[in-house]
Structure 1
Amino acid sequence: MSAYEEEMETAGNLGRRLGLNRRQFLAATTGMAAAAAVAAAGPMKSAARAATAGNGVLVPPGKRGIILYTVRDAVSRDPRSTTLPSGFRPVLEELSRIGYKQVEFAGYAQHANAEGGANLETVEGARLLRTWLDDNGLEAEGNHGFIPGSWPLNQADLDRFKLHLEIANILGMSHVGTGNDPTGSAYKADWDVAADKWNTLGELATAAGLKLYTHNHDVAYSFLLDSGPLDAQGRPTRSSGIRRLEYFLSQTDPGKVWLEMDIFWAHVAQYKYKTYTAPDGSTQTQVFNPLGVVQAQTMRFPLFHAKDGKINTATSNGYDMVPFGTGDIDYKSFFSQMGAKGYHNPMYEQDNAPGGTANPAQSLEYSKLSYDNIAKLRG
C-alpha cells in the first residue's frame, strides 16, 4: 500500500469514528494545519487570557460566559418600573456577582431610561460599555451583530460593518459575529456566494485583529442540495451527503472565518436530519455527529453556545430548551473530548429564559442556576 493509500485509509477510519464519511472528513479537515498556524499567530487574546483550573474542571472560571440574549428582558427593561436589575450596567453587575467572566453581546440596545440611553451602537456607547465591563471584571468575547446582507457590498453596509469592528476593539473583543446562518438556502450555488462574502468580510475582520464567526441553527446542518436532476429553475434536487455548514467550512478560509456552534441546535439537527436523497434517487441514512465535526477541526470553533435541552420526541425538534445542566445533552463528554483545552469559549444561552410579567426575575435566576452547573462540570 502506498503512503497516499495509507493516508486515505486512515482518514476513512477516523471519519467513520466521527460519524463522517471519508470525503466529508477530508473536506472538513482541509486547511486544518493552516488554521492552527494562523491561530497561533493571529488574534488569540481570549486563549492567552484563559484561566486554568485543576480537579478536572472542564470550563475554567475565566471561560464561563453568557450571551446577553438570554437576559434580554432585563437589559431592555425600564429601570424606573422595577427594583430588578435593568439596563446594561446593573445586569452586567449582577452577572459578575453570579460569577460570569465573559459576555457575548446580542446588539447594543437597551431601554431608553437606562444609563447611557437606548442606543449604544456608537463609539461613545462602546466606551461606556467598556467602563462597565472593566468595573465588573468582565470580558466581552463577541457579538451577534451586523453582517452585511448585500453582495457585492454597498458602501453603507461596509461602513456599518467597519463601525462594528471598531466597537468590538473598543470593547476588547477577540471575536465578532452574527446570530444567523450564512444563508438560509438549501442550494450549493447560494452557499458558494455566502462563502465568497464571508471570506471578504473575514479579511476585513482579520485586518482589525478580530476573528469573524457565524452561528448555526439546526437547518444549517441539513443536507446540501448539490446534485441529481434539476428542477424547473435549474436547481439541483438531490444531495451528495454533505451538510450545508460543513460545505461552508470547506469553502471558507480557515484563517479568516470561524464558527460558533450552538450545541443545542446541532443536537436538534442530529434528531431531525438523518436521511437524504442521493444522486441515484436512493434514500441514504447518515446521523449527524456534532462532537465529531468539532474534533475534526477544533480550532475553527472558538466559541460555543452552551444551551441545554431535555429530550421530548413529541416536538418537531426532539428537545425542549432548559437551564444548563438540567437537560439531556452530554456536555461532560462534549467538553472533555472536543480538544484544544483552554481555547474554547462556551457561552450559556437559553432562548426561553425570560419569564415575562409572570416571573420577571426568571432569566437572571436561570443564569445563576446555569452558571453553578457549568462550574460543576468535571472531566
Structure 2
Amino acid sequence: MFKSPVSRRQVLTASAGAAAALGAAGLPVLATGSPALAHGHGSGRLRVEPLIPARNRGIILYSVRDRISAAPDDSGVPYGFERVLARLAEIGYKEIEFAGYNQNTSILGRQITPAEIRKILDDNGLVANGAHTSINAATFDQQLDIAETLGMKHIGTGSDPTGSAYRSDWDAAADLWNELGRKARKRGMKLYTHNHDAAYGFLLDAGPLDANGKPTRSSGQRKLEYFFGRTDERYVFFEMDIYWAYVARFKHHTYVDARGNAREDLFDPILTVAPRTERFPLFHAKDGDRAPAQVNGYTMVPLGEGDINFQQFFEVIGEQNYHHANWEQDTAPGGAANPGQSIDFAGISYRNMSDLTIYRR
C-alpha cells in the first residue's frame, strides 16, 4: 500500500533525525555532497544495520558489458555470463539487472538462451531484479516472456518514455505505459522507467506558440514529475539513476515562465523520491566527483569514491527493505589496456555499498 505524501518539512525533519542518530553514534555527520560512506561503531542503545540490505544489493550488467561480451581470452579476467556472474556472486552481489541477453557466440558456438542464463543465476544464488530493454507495444509480450523465464519482478528501460518537451507527448506516453504496466502486473511484474538528466528538465507548456503551434515557455513543471501524476501508481514505477538526478540538479535549475521571466527552481532528488518512495523500487547507485567546469557537473567514479551522499539519500527516503540498489558506472570498462577494470570497480563499489550503515534505537 502506498503511503500518503510527506511534506518538505517532514523530509527535512527526517534528515535532521538521521544526522542526530549519526552524531549520537559518535560518527561524523555527513553534509549533502560529502562522500557516501559512514564508518564506526554504535554506542549503547543504538543497533547497527546495513542501510542497503545484502539481499537488495545489485549491479546492472552494463557496468561490466565489456566482459559479458568478451570472447574467450587469456587475460585471466572472467568473460561471458557464466564466468562473470559467478565472479559477481563471489564479490557479494545478490541481484542482477540486465542490459541485454547476448554474449559472444564463440563461447557456446551459438547465442545463449534466457533459460540457460536463468540456470546460471540459480547456480550462483543470484536473482534477476530487472532489465533495461525496449518498451513498446509491438514487442512487450516477448519481453515479458523473457523476464518471466529469468524470474524478474521488475521490467524496464534505460530510455525516457518520450524525448519530447511537450505535455501532449508525455500524455500519450502515459496512456501507453498505463496499458503496458497493467499487462506487466498481470504477469507479477512492475514496469519501470530509468532517468537521465533530461527527464528532470522542464516541460514546454506555456507562453507564446512557435510556428508549429508548440508552446515556447514553461510552467515550471518537470517532465518526469508530470509523468508521475499522469500514470497509475498501481502500474507504472521508476528507477532513479541517482547520478543523473544530481546532474539534473546541476543543469536544470532555471526556466522561462509564461511571461518571459527567468525563474530559479533547484531540483532535489531526495525530495522527489520521498513523497512517493514506493514508486521507486529500483535505483542506480552511481557515484560522481564534482566537476563544475564540465557540462554535467560530475564525472563518474566507483561507488563511494565520489561526492554524492548515498548515506543521506537512502536514509532519508526510508523503506530500506523495499528498495533495490544496482551499482552502475558507465565508464567502468578499461578496454584492452586494463581488461579487469570493470570487475575491479564492481568489487570496490560492492564493498562501499556494504559499508553504508544505519543506526537505530
TM-score by length of 1: 0.82
- Counterpart of 1:231 in structure 2 is 210
Q: Unpaired runs of 5+ in structure 2?
A: 13-46
1 CA distance for matches of 2:8 and 2:316?
A: 16
Residue 56 of structure 1 deviates from its aligned partner by: 2.9
Q: Is the 8 A contact 1:308 1:323 kept in 2?
A: yes
Counterpart-to-counterpart distance in 1, 2:55 and 2:275: 25
**Contact 1:226/1:238 (8 A) holds in 2:** yes
Instruction: Indicate yes or no: 2:161 matched with 1:182.
Output: yes
Matching residue within 95, 100, 105 for 1:102: 95
Task: Determine the structure 1 residue equivalent to 2:114.
Answer: 126
Q: After superposition, what is the alpha-carbon deviation per residue over 1:33-68, rounded to whole angstroms, capped at 9, x for unaligned?
A: xxxxxxxxxxxxxxxxxxxxx613101111110000
Per-residue deviation, 1:116 = 7.3
Q: Which of residues 201, 204, 208 is equivalent to 1:222?
A: 201
- Determine helix, strand or coil for the equivalent of 1:280: coil
Q: Deviations over 1:272-328 (max 9, x none)?
A: 011111112111111000010100100000000000000000101000000000000
In 2, Cα distance between equivalents of 1:369 and 1:245: 32
Aligned to 1:75: 68
| The one of 176, 184, 188 aligned to 1:197 | 176
Q: Secondary structure at the match of 2:357?
A: coil
Judging changes above 3 Å, is the alpha-carbon distance between structure 1 residues 112 and 186 closer, same or farther for their aligned structure 2 residues? Answer: same
Q: Deviations over 1:336-365 (max 9, x none)?
A: 111222000000000000001110100000
1:40 maps to which residue?
Answer: none
Q: Which residue of 1 aligns with 2:124?
A: 136
State the Cα distance separating 1:194 from its structure 2 match.
0.9
* Cα separation, 1, equivalents of 2:109 and 2:96: 19
Deviation at 1:79, TM superposition (A): 1.3
Give matches, 1:1-379, under 5 Å: 14-15=7-8, 55-80=48-73, 82-115=75-108, 117-118=110-111, 120=112, 125-148=113-136, 153=137, 157=138, 160-379=139-358
3-state SS, counterpart of residue 49 of structure 2: coil
Distance 1:226 1:336, change over 3 A: same
Higher helix share: 1
Deviations 1:81-118 (A, max 9, x none): 54321101100000001000001000101111124733
**Greater alpha carbon shift after TM alignment, 194-203 vs 349-358:** 194-203
Provide the C-alpha distance between the structure 2 equivalents of 1:79 and 1:55, rounded to a whole number of angstroms: 43
List per-residue Cα deviations over 1:226-263 (Å, max 9, x = no partner): 11111110001111111000001110011000000000
Q: How many residues align?
A: 321
**2:52–2:320: 8 Å Cα contact kept in structure 1?**
no
C-alpha distance in structure 2 between counterparts of 1:184 and 1:141, whole Å: 26
Structure 1 residues 80 and 360, CA gap change in structure 2 (3 angstroms)? closer
Instruction: Tell me, yes or no, if the aligned pair for 2:238 and 2:280 is still in contact at 8 Å.
Output: yes
- Which whole-Å CA distance do the structure 1 matches of 2:182 and 2:131 have between them? 18
Higher relative contact order (CA 8 A, sep 6+): 2
The residue type paired with residue 238 of structure 1 is R
Counting aligned pairs with the same residue, the percent is 51
| In structure 1, distance between residues paired with 2:284 and 2:117 | 22
Q: Secondary structure at the match of 2:283?
A: strand
Give, as a single letter, the amino acid of the residue that structure 1 aligns with 2:203: L
CA distance in 2, matches of 1:318, 1:96: 33
User: CA contact under 8 A between 1:144 and 1:178: conserved in structure 2?
Assistant: yes
What corresponds to 2:26 in structure 1? none
SS at match of 1:309: strand
The residue that corresponds to 1:38 in the other structure is: none
Residues 304 and 353 in structure 2, CA contact (< 8 A), matched pair in contact too:
yes
Q: CA deviation at 1:213?
A: 0.3
Aligned partner letter, 1:70: S
Task: Name the aligned partner's letter for residue 308 of structure 2.
Answer: I
Conserved 8 A contact 2:50-2:354: yes
Shift of 1:378: 1.3
Kindly provide the CA deviation profile for residues 103-145 of structure 1, in whole angstroms up to 9, marking residues without a partner as x.
1000101111124733x4xxxx111111100100100000001
What root-mean-square deviation, in Å, do the aligned CA atoms of Structure 1 and Structure 2 show? 1.7
Give the 3-state SS of the residue equivalent to 1:117 in structure 2. Answer: coil
- Calculate the TM-score normalised by the size of structure 2: 0.86
Maintained 8 Å contact 1:110/1:117: no
Runs (4+) of structure 1 exceeding 4 A deviation are: 15-19
How has the CA–CA distance of structure 1 residues 177 and 293 changed in structure 2, closer, same or farther, with 3 Å as cutoff? same
Instruction: Give SS of 2:248's match.
Output: helix
